[in-house]
Amino acid sequence: MKENLPKTLITGADGMVGSYVDFGIKTDPRSLDVADMNETMSVVKKHAPEVIIHLAAETDVDRCERDPNHAYFINSVGTYNVVLAAKEVGAKLVYVSTSGIFDGQKSGPYTEDDMPNPKNYYGHSKFLGEVIVRSLLKDHIIARACWMFGGGPKKDEKFVAKIIAQLRNKEIKALNDVCGSPTFGKDLVGGIKKLLLDGAVGTFNLSNEGVCSRYDIAKAITEVLNPSVKVVAVDRRYFDLDAERVSNESMVSKVKIMRPWKEALVEYLKTEWENKI
């Protein structure tokens, strides 16, 4: 599949999702700071890619809440800079967005057509990124993910790694009153590749298939890595977090190209964590 992809440049390629990108020109904040318009323009012009996969973002939801200017600067202005550079060289843009653009009020999973209404600064700054991409660049893919996992012991700083870090405890507490659709970074990259090869344009939900709670994920992790640990269900009042978490971030996709979340999670745990903790 690698051979058929057009010349591709990736921003923010040193993170969780970027660790699964095995093609193209991979950049990080040192070689391409998306918040720096001149640098973004000059690096993109130098490489003249046909596709830009824009992964760079501030993904720490609570940091975004404490410092909204930073969130908008990286996630919204940074995306604007990448869009302008893509326009300049005539590249297609893939923007990775988030289920965090929704307000969680819907009773079922969110589709691509549901109306965004972000409830925290991370979600708002990423939604503005979507608006910028959609309004300025026809040739784009917006790929929405939810509850990302991936990157293994070196790169994973999100929920799955936080649960794994507690596996030596007798019990682990996890939220049972929020639902989402977990996304394996490796599968997200595979989904993006497929959409690119199909010549797709538009907005696509690319989480793994299915809906679960944080409690369900924690249970699945302990089943694989340490079944003797008890998982205790708690509700959102239990954790004191800076940014509001909504009760429903689950998604369903108009394209059926992603496998079920549990199958993906088990593969991740067995290939990247087993015997390393």
The only residue of 59, 81, 120, 248 in contact with ligand NAP, by rule CB under 6 A: 59
Least distance from ligand NAP to the Cβ atom of residue 62, Å = 12
Least distance from ligand NAP to the Cβ atom of residue 189, Å = 10
Supply the angle between the helices 78-89 and 121-136 in degrees, to the nearest 10: 20
The only residue of 8, 76, 81, 98 in contact with ligand NAP, by rule CB under 6 A: 98
Residue 190 lies near ligand NAP (rule: CB under 6 A):
no
Is the separation of the CB atoms in 100 and 145 below 8 Å? Answer: no
Residue (123 or 229) nearer to ligand NAP, CB: 123
Residue 92 lies near ligand NAP (rule: CB under 6 A):
no
Least distance from ligand NAP to the Cβ atom of residue 131, Å = 15
Q: Strands, E, within 146-266: which ranges?
A: 148-149, 171-175, 179-180, 183-184, 202-205, 212-213, 230-234
Angstrom distance (rounded) from CA 277 to CA 166: 11
Angstrom distance (rounded) from CA 124 to CA 101: 6
Residue (117 or 226) nearer to ligand NAP, CB: 117
Angstrom distance (rounded) from CA 275 to CA 152: 12
The only residue of 51, 52, 53, 57 in contact with ligand NAP, by rule CB under 6 A: 57
Residue (34 or 269) nearer to ligand NAP, CB: 34
The CA angle 95-6-48, to the nearest 5 degrees, is 75
Is the separation of the CB atoms in 204 and 97 below 8 Å? Answer: no
Pairing of strands 183-184, 148-149: parallel
Is the separation of the CB atoms in 124 and 273 below 8 Å? Answer: no
Residue 86 lies near ligand NAP (rule: CB under 6 A):
no
Closest CB to ligand NAP belongs to which residue? Answer: 15
Size of residue set near ligand NAP by CB under 6 A: 28
Residue 148 lies near ligand NAP (rule: CB under 6 A):
yes
Residue 253 lies near ligand NAP (rule: CB under 6 A):
no
Residue 67 lies near ligand NAP (rule: CB under 6 A):
no
Residue 217 lies near ligand NAP (rule: CB under 6 A):
no
Query: Structure tokens of 123?
Result: 């979600």
Residue (156 or 229) nearer to ligand NAP, CB: 156
Residue (149 or 229) nearer to ligand NAP, CB: 149
Say whether 171 sits in a helix, a strand or coil: strand
CB neighbours of residue 2 within 10 Å: 8
Look at the block and give the residue holding tokens 């682990």: 172
Residue (76 or 166) nearer to ligand NAP, CB: 76
Instruction: Name the nearest CA neighbour of 142 among 102, 99, 95, 187.
Output: 95
Residue 243 lies near ligand NAP (rule: CB under 6 A):
no
Least distance from ligand NAP to the Cβ atom of residue 1, Å = 21
The residue ranges that bind ligand NAP (CB under 6 A) are 11-12, 14-18, 29, 32-35, 55-59, 74, 78, 96, 98, 126, 145-148, 155, 158
